[in-house]
């Protein structure tokens, strides 16, 4: 456990300062290797020893780890040696490239041939140490992977090893004897020290100091937490702000610090007595981290299941459930601490495997019971959260999954331990408990991030949904991934290897993609985008408005500058990152095939957008008609053009339709346009009089241009009226509807004053045989008269009796009267 804690500290350091550490290490190594190359004789001896150990696979795991550390150091040396003479090699290769290839036919001049030979020899001499370093690097890397494979195989074998069962009664005496003998040995050391006269005198002399330290330590150990809680409760108002919450959280850390100080005082009192022997010293050293684990777990349980509603984390539990959560969380922390303490004592004293299994088995059982209780609380929180939010969120599903996993773990781990697979059981139970502690710590840190953001922004309601706290919380989860990996059995060497591979990058052909390349690419492209946007803003708001260009031309220039800027930013970023564009030829070929088949519409629209910006058949602000839709051009983008119709809705039209289709532009170049107002008058009206009235109306409208003057056309003789048209040129065709409406109002007024009729639609109906229709009409009338004369005499005979309900026959269509109604 102590080793695991050290590993956790190491991995946090690696996660916080990996770049600086790597840079400094490689710089020092490279400087050393430039002055003196790698000692290949010494390397050969180390490699021979490592090869023999790997082939035999008999060395202990610790010896394998030490050998692996040596190989890692050599591999770093060879990594730095691969960059030796890089500038000289690049210069010589560039000179060879400048000479060109050797001619196939004929001979080149002796001077050029001599220079070519000298440059080739120079390149060979310069690359010889680089190739040697590359070969040695490959050998060291292969041995490191071999050692990692052996260690992983040993871990797997140990995990599946069947050991003594703690339920076997023959192993119980070993466990009891191990526990009693350990404490007997400590007691014997104390008694032996007390029997020493000198030591007894010194102990009695320091007795007041020992008693004072012990009493003070006990007070802090027992009552310190309650005093800190009281101080936090007094400092915390009823309606706490984010600042109060953060201050109270910092104050609550005293629940860990104050009791730990009490333990240190008691430990100091024990050392001051002089009665602590070798075993007692080892026990006291193991007791300190044990107590820290318990205090930390209890503090986290108080944060996750607080007494006050103000402190509540995202757990939908009532006061009674939170009280149970505090109890279970503290008990689980105590279980982890006891597990760690017993494991350390067993290693120090040298307990047998059977004794360790017997002593730790009750701890596993208690941990399983506590996990069952905690899983029940998580399930209840998931149900409450789903009821409150009326939805099954992703977090609720994760909580249910965690609860199910804890329930299964609480049953499986003790069962495996009872059978004899104790290593497998502890490898499941202990990492799970540590993971719960780490998960609780992550929840607390995420709450701190949310409160800090609320304190800065002042937005408490939307703080949980803002982008910055969400990204920071996600970063905390990513940083905790190495911690979880270490808890579940990963080695620091494994994580270091992954980090090295990550920083080294992935090689695709002759191109290496690494995080440095991605960072360089992102930074330079972002800077280029910012400069492009600044230039566009300057052109749009400062320079172009002072020119004579219209709005469409200015928009085309701004858009073109944006496209060029983005292209140049991407090109400069790719070149600065060291990516060889020639190596992307295959990818570009495959992409062109994909464009030909699947992206041809997108490319067509993109090219059409460029054509629209260059040729400008339509511009921003033009009134156009396309596919029967009228509207004003609001934006011409890369793929489509946005048109705002007269009912204030947006019409998105692909650029290819505007280039290849028929488009009517009513305001291309200028806004002058024609209006046509049709009107009809009744037959017999004086046509010259109508023409004069209509021309006066057109000339009087302020939007009509006098030169050329408007005209009135007697168009034709219609079916119902004499058809006339007013044709006039308007100053702004955008007012065509208003002008037409005003003219119609004036026409109706003047025609009413002059007595000119605007006729309705008229139709003449011609009958081919009116005499037949007349005879039929007369015959029908006579029959109707005869029926009226005979009806009174026959009426009594035709009277029908209404049938009884039982005798009525239903119609098949559903109606009793046969008509279906």
DSSP string, 756-796: ---PPP------S-HHHHHHHHHHHHHHHHHHHHHHHHHTT
Segments forming the whole domain that contains residue 290: 169-420
Neighbours of 338 (CB within 10 A): 19
Query: In angstroms, rounded to a whole number, what is the distance separating the alpha carbons of residues 155 and 144?
Result: 17
At 359, give phi and psi (nearest 5°): -75, -35
* CATH classification of the domain holding 736: 3.30.70.100
Indicate whether 155 and 261 sit together in one domain: no
Do 567 and 693 lie in one domain? The reply is: no
- Determine phi and psi for 500, rounding to 5 degrees: -65, -45
Report d(CA 426, CA 489) in Å as an integer: 11
The answer to whether residues 437 and 336 touch, using CB atoms and an 8 Å cutoff, is yes
| Dihedral over alpha carbons 731, 737, 742, 746 (to 10 degrees) | 110
Instruction: Please indicate, yes or no, whether the overall pTM of this predicted structure exceeds 0.75.
Output: no
Distance CA 502, CA 507 (A): 11
Residues of the chain with pLDDT under 70: 1-36, 105-106, 236-240, 308-314, 386-393, 459-465, 505-512, 552, 579-599, 669, 762-763, 773, 776-777, 779-821
Residue 732 half-sphere exposure toward CB, CA atoms < 13 A: 6
Report d(CA 138, CA 75) in Å as an integer: 8
Question: In terms of domains, do 125 and 212 share one?
Answer: no
Same domain, 68 and 181: no
Whether residue 330 sits in one domain with residue 283: yes
SS3 679: strand
Task: Say if residue 148 is in the same domain as residue 252.
Answer: no
Q: How far is C-alpha 212 from the chain's CA centre? A: 57
What's the pLDDT at 785? 55
Confidence (pLDDT) at 726 = 93
Cβ pair 631, 602 in contact under 8 A? no
Per-residue DSSP letter, 584: G
Residue among 739, 738, 758 nearest 697 (CA)? 739
Q: Which residues have C-beta within 8 Å of that of residue 733, sequence separation ≥ 6?
A: 623, 666, 667, 671, 672, 673, 674, 675
The verdict on residue 491 lying in a domain is no
Q: Is residue 409 a part of any domain in this protein?
A: yes
Q: Among residues of the chain, what percentage have pLDDT more than 90? A: 19
* Residue carrying the six token digits 């310069």: 126
Position 735 scores a pLDDT of 85
DSSP helix/strand/coil, 194: helix
pLDDT of 588 reads: 62
pLDDT score at 794: 44
486 falls within a domain: no
Residue 115 belongs to some domain of the structure: yes
Does the residue 407 lie in any domain? yes
Q: Are residues 174 and 289 in the same domain?
A: yes
Instruction: Please indicate, yes or no, whether residues 533 and 560 belong to a single structural domain of this protein.
Output: yes
Asked whether residue 688 is domain-assigned, the answer is yes
DSSP state of 704: B
* pLDDT value for 18: 39
Would 194 be classed as within a structural domain? yes
Q: Name the token pair of 252.
A: 């609550």
Q: Are residues 729 and 699 in contact, defined by beta-carbon separation less than 8 angstroms?
A: no
Residues in the chain: 821
Q: Which residue has the tokens 């797997």?
A: 156
398 shares a domain with 353: yes
Note whether 645 and 683 are same-domain residues. no
Q: Among 637, 665, 693, which residue terminates a domain?
A: 665
CB atoms within 10 A of CB 800: 5
What is the tally of structural domains in the chain?
4
Residue 402 belongs to some domain of the structure: yes
Domain end marker among 623, 644, 665: 665
CA-to-CA distance for 192 and 204, rounded, in angstroms?
16
pLDDT of residue 742: 92
- Taking the C-alpha atoms of residue 158 and residue 424, their distance in angstroms, rounded to an integer, is 8
Q: What is the pLDDT of residue 350?
A: 84
Same domain, 416 and 322: yes
For residue 132 the two structure tokens come to 């040697």
Q: Which of 646, 665, 684 represents a domain boundary (last residue)? A: 665
User: Are residues 130 and 273 both part of a single domain?
Assistant: no
What's the alpha-carbon Rg for the chain, to the nearest Å? 47
């Amino acid at each position: 456990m102590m080793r695991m804690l050290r590993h956790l500290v190491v991995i946090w350091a690696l996660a916080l300062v990996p770049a600086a550490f790597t840079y400094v290490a490689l710089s020092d190594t490279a400087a050393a290797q430039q002055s003196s190359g790698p000692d290949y004789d010494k390397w050969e001896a180390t490699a021979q020893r490592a090869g023999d150990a790997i082939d035999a696979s008999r060395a202990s795991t610790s010896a394998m780890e030490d050998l692996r550390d040596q190989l890692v150091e050599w591999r770093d040396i060879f990594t730095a040696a691969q960059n030796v003479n890089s500038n000289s090699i690049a210069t010589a290769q560039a000179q060879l490239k400048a000479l060109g290839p050797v001619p196939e036919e004929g001979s080149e001049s002796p001077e050029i041939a001599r220079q070519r030979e000298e440059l080739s020899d120079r390149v060979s001499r310069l690359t010889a140490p680089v190739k040697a370093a590359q070969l040695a690097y490959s050998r060291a890397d292969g041995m490191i992977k071999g050692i990692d494979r052996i260690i992983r195989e040993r871990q797997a074998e140990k995990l599946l090893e069947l050991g003594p069962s703690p339920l076997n009664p023959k192993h119980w005496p070993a466990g009891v004897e191990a526990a009693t003998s350990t404490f007997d040995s400590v007691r014997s050391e104390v008694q032996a020290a007390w029997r020493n006269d000198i030591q007894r005198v010194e102990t009695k002399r320091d007795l007041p100091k020992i008693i004072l330290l012990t009493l003070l330590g006990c007070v802090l150990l027992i009552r310190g937490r309650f005093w800190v809680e009281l101080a936090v409760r007094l400092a915390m108002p009823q309606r706490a702000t984010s600042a109060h919450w953060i201050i109270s959280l910092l104050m609550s850390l005293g629940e860990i610090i104050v009791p730990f100080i009490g333990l240190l005082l008691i430990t100091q009192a024990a050392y001051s007595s002089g009665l602590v022997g070798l075993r007692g010293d080892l026990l006291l050293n193991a007791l300190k981290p044990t107590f820290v684990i318990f205090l930390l777990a209890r503090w986290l349980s108080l944060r996750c299941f607080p007494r006050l509603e103000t402190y509540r984390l995202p757990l939908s539990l009532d006061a009674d459930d939170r009280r149970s959560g505090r109890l279970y969380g503290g008990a689980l922390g105590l279980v982890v601490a006891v597990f760690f303490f017993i494991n350390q004592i067993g290693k120090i004293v040298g307990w047998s495997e059977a004794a360790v299994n017997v002593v730790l088995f009750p701890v596993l059982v208690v941990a399983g019971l506590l996990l069952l209780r905690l899983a029940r609380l998580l399930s209840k929180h998931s149900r409450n959260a789903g009821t409150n939010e009326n939805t099954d969120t992703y977090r609720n599903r994760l909580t249910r999954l965690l609860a199910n996993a804890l329930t299964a773990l609480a049953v499986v781990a003790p069962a495996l331990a009872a059978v004899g697979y104790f290593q497998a059981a502890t490898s499941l139970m202990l990492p799970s408990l540590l993971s719960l502690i780490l998960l609780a710590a992550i929840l607390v840190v995420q709450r701190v991030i949310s409160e800090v953001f609320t304190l800065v922004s002042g937005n408490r309601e939307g703080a949980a949904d803002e982008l910055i706290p969400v990204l920071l919380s996600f970063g905390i989860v990513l940083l905790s991934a190495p911690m979880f990996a270490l808890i579940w059995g990963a080695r620091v060497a494994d994580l270091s290897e992954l980090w090295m591979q990550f920083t080294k990058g992935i090689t695709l052909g002759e191109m290496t993609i690494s995080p440095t390349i991605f960072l360089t690419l992102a930074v330079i492209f972002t800077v280029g985008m910012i400069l492009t946007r600044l230039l566009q803003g300057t052109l749009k708001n400062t320079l172009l408005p002072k020119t004579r260009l219209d709005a469409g031309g200015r928009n085309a220039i701004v858009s073109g500058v944006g496209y060029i800027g983005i292209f140049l930013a991407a090109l400069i970023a790719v070149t600065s990152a060291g990516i060889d564009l020639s190596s992307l030829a295959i990818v570009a070929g495959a992409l062109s095939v994909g464009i030909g088949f699947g992206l041809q519409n997108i490319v067509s629209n993109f090219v059409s957008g460029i054509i629209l910006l260059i040729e400008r058949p339509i511009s921003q602000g033009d009134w156009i008609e396309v596919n029967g839709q009228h509207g004003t051009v609001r934006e011409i983008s890369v793929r489509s053009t946005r048109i705002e119709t007269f009912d204030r809705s947006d019409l998105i039209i692909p650029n290819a339709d505007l280039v290849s289709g028929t488009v009517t532009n009513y305001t291309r170049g200028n806004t002058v346009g024609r209006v046509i107002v049709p009107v009809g008058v009744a037959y017999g009206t004086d046509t010259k009089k109508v023409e004069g009235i209509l021309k006066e109306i057109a000339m009087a409208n302020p939007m009509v241009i006098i030169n050329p003057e408007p005209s009135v056309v007697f168009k034709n003789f219609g079916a119902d009226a004499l058809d006339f048209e007013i044709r006039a040129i308007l100053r702004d065709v955008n007012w065509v509807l208003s002008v037409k409406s005003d003219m119609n109002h004036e026409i109706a007024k003047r025609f009413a004053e002059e007595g000119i009729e605007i006729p309705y639609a008229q139709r003449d109906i011609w009958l081919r045989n009116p005499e037949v229709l007349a005879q039929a009409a007369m015959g029908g009338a006579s029959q109707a008269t005869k029926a009226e004369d005979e009806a009174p005499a026959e009426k009594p005979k035709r009277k029908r009796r209404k049938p009884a309900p039982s005798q009525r026959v239903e119609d098949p269509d559903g109606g009793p009267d046969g008509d279906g109604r």
